[in-house]
Amino acid sequence: MAKFLTGNELNSDLEKLLEKAEQQIILISPYIKLHDRYASVLRTKMNNPKIKIIVVFGKNEEDFSRSMKQDDFNFFKEFPNIEIRYERRLHAKYYASESSAILTSMNLYNFSQDNNIEAGVMTKATLLSNIAGNFLTNVTGEDGFDKTAWTYFSRVIDQSDLLFKKNPEYESTNFGLSKKYTNSKTEIDKLTDFFENRFKYESNHKKDGNERKILGLKQAAAEIKPEMKIESIIPQKKISSEVKYLSTTALSKELGISTKDLFNKFERLNWIKKNEDDWVLTNLGISKGAQTRKGQYGEYIAWPNFIVTDL
């Protein structure tokens, strides 16, 4: 039977799902930044090659680090039996073991667990429920909720891009009657190089994008009729590479929203937090390029002008 979950119960049952897993753990979430409570539970599975872990994340095709942090990738790649996959269209969130699953609105992101209003539905798949589900399928022709969800997300996994794969290796013992785990071998790894050379990837992506724009402009120019002016095809807009920093108040005016609403938005994004009566930057805010500066009335947070692309 399905169980509706909210708030602390949702967090608690997800933690229990991870804790009780003995054969498989599936984590499907567009954004991944592990909460300490989940990382602690997963860490107890790190030396168990029998548990197959599949992680699927998404969004931010041009920069994976906005969807999965390098620290979390470094954590996951230590597991002996794991796949990490990417699906650019992913928006759904689904967490499962061999015995239960949770379909939810909640990202596997620490800010979501601590601050957002989230809800989910949990189903438990046991031998008895599988037998009953198969019987009902034969009688009514309809699959159960858990079976339908699992079929759907299995397809999501199969269609996603495999970026990292690590498999356990065994040696035969007792004349081939049993096997003993020896080590794990990384067969595919496209993420380590990305994270270690992230700025190179970002630069190449921007370069490729600019080259595509230039090619498009050239193609458009080639199609211009003699009586047409080039200015009507190519926008005459100056592009400055200079980074300018704005206070939250100045930035709110640029965006046309109130300063209070912008502060609240930054807090929801976990870029800033309250320290007594003052706003201070979080590590995530610093990673976005924000700085703490001194002004006429004391310290303030300054945001780079390109931050608007992330809002």
The CA distance from 20 to 49, in Å, is 15
Q: In sequence order, what are the residues at sequence separation of 6 or more whose Cβ sits closer than 8 angstroms to the Cβ of residue 166? A: 77, 79, 80, 81, 82, 83, 184, 185, 186, 187
Cα angle 278-282-283, degrees, rounded to a multiple of 5: 155
Check residues 257 and 105 and name the one with the higher pLDDT. 105
Q: What is the pTM of this model?
A: 0.62
**Does 257 score more than 80 pLDDT?**
yes
Summarised one tens digit per residue, pLDDT across range 6-29 is 999 999 999 999 999 999 999 999
For the chain, which domains are there? 3-189 (3.30.870.10), 197-239 (no CATH), 243-311 (1.10.10)
Confidence of residue 186 (pLDDT cuts 50, 70, 90): very high
Give residue 205's identity as a one-letter amino acid code: H
Looking at residue 144, its pLDDT comes to 72
Q: What is the mean pLDDT of residues 274-283?
A: 87
Confidence of residue 173 (pLDDT cuts 50, 70, 90): confident
**Does 140 score more than 60 pLDDT?**
no
Range of weakest confidence among 109-123, 136-150, 229-243? 229-243
Confidence of residue 73 (pLDDT cuts 50, 70, 90): very high
